[in-house]
Amino acid sequence: MKCPDLETLSAYREEELPEPEAALLAAHVAGCPRCQVALSSLTSLVTELAALRACEFTADDQARLCALVTSSPAPRARLQAFRRPAVGVALALILSFSAGFLGYSLYQRTFPATLSSRTFEAYLTDHRHYESLAGPDPDLGEFNVQVAAVR
Amino acid sequence: MAKVIPLDEAARQETRFEQLVREQGKRLKNVVTRMVGPDEADDVLQEAFLQVYRGLASFRAQSLLSTWAYRVTVNVCLAYLGRLRRTRAKVAYLELEETSLNVAPTGEAARSPEAVAENRALSEVLRQGLLELPPDLRAVVVLRDIEGLSYRDTASILEVPLGTVQSRLHKARAALREIVQARWGGELP
């Protein structure tokens, strides 16, 4: 068996290798001084890294962090419901429908499909006046159709 | 879409936050120091705790408060390192921080002055080597090997699968061992 790479040795050290592979590697390491050194070195590395845990946390550090509370505004709770995807999608749909309905209503108010007789008479009076000045307005669409029907 | 917390609730959050500072402050400071280096550690730690404080009201007990605080802290560190990388700033330092003097060598290494000096030099090489690892590998080493957290907690904090933690850890150890061999002049004892 070839000497394993360091990642495999590290996995072996953590007992993460599946059994057939682990047994083969154990047999190899037992007879391979190079792998024994590498394994021992990995163990030392982990020990040395654990020593880096030592860290000074003074009373000043603690006071400085606790003072953050007074120097920043009170925390606000987010409404958790709005963070769920389904609720977000539902909200987006509701907003889209509302926007669509509002737009359609505004369009209907501006360009009504049919006019009440009183409104129509009022429009017609104005229209005749402006038409006499500027000619037919192509943008009036449905109104022109109804004017033509009256004529 | 937000509601203001009542005064008594705010006071409760404040107490909870202070308790978190007392209980986890030292460990989180260590995480930040190992992730971003001692020069920037204070500022990044402050930012992390600020985010913890702001998020306390929204914290739901789906995980331990300490695990969540680790997650916030690591994310703040990764975001900081990301900004640093984007601005192409170079993290370059190697100075004996005050805290390093408090690292007590253990066992054989503690016996002679030469061994103590050697041990300190090795820890410096490791500190520097750690800061040269890619942030995602560094985070795994800091949480698993330095902080001594379980694989499961490390995976939960980093929000990655267990297998990813294992693979990153072995890659990181292999890289660190190479750094030690190259700069310290040989195999670890």
ipTM of the complex: 0.71
Contacts of A49 in chain B (CB under 8 A): 126, 130, 141, 145-146, 176
Evaluate if residue B174 carries a pLDDT over 60: yes
Q: How far is CA A146 from CA A111, A128, A141, A149, A151, in A?
A: 12, 13, 9, 5, 9
Contact A7 B46 (CB under 8 A): no
pLDDT > 70: percent of chain B:
75
Contacts of B1 in chain A (CB under 8 A): 78-79, 82
Structure token pair of residue A126: 């104005």
Residue B142 is classified by DSSP as I
Tell me the average pLDDT of chain B.
Answer: 79
Q: Which residues contact B37 (CB under 8 A, 6 or more apart)?
A: B91, B93, B131
Alpha carbon B17 to its chain's center? 20
Q: Give me the pLDDT at residue B158, please.
A: 93
pLDDT > 90: percent of chain A:
2
Average pLDDT of the segment spanning A91-117: 78
pTM of the entire predicted model: 0.63
Contact B5 A75 (CB under 8 A): yes
Q: How many CA atoms lie within 13 A of A125 on its CB side?
A: 5
Which neighbouring-strand residues pair with B2? A78
- Kindly state whether A56 is in contact with chain B, defined as any CB-CB distance less than 8 angstroms: yes
Among B40, B63, B62, B43, smallest CA distance to B51 is for B43
- Kindly state whether B187 is in contact with chain A, defined as any CB-CB distance less than 8 angstroms: yes
Q: In terms of C-beta density within 10 A (0-12 exposed, 13-18 middle, 19 or more buried), how is residue B111 classed?
A: exposed
Q: Which of B46-60, B133-147, B160-174 has the lowest mean pLDDT?
A: B46-60
Residue with the larger pLDDT of the pair B2 and A107: A107
Structure token pair of residue A94: 């509701």
Q: Give me the pLDDT at residue B95, please.
A: 43
Which neighbouring-strand residues pair with A76? B4
Residue B111 is classified by DSSP as S
Among B28, B104, B72, smallest CA distance to A61 is for B28
Q: Give me the pLDDT at residue B116, please.
A: 54
**CA dist., res. A133 & res. B151, Å (int):** 85
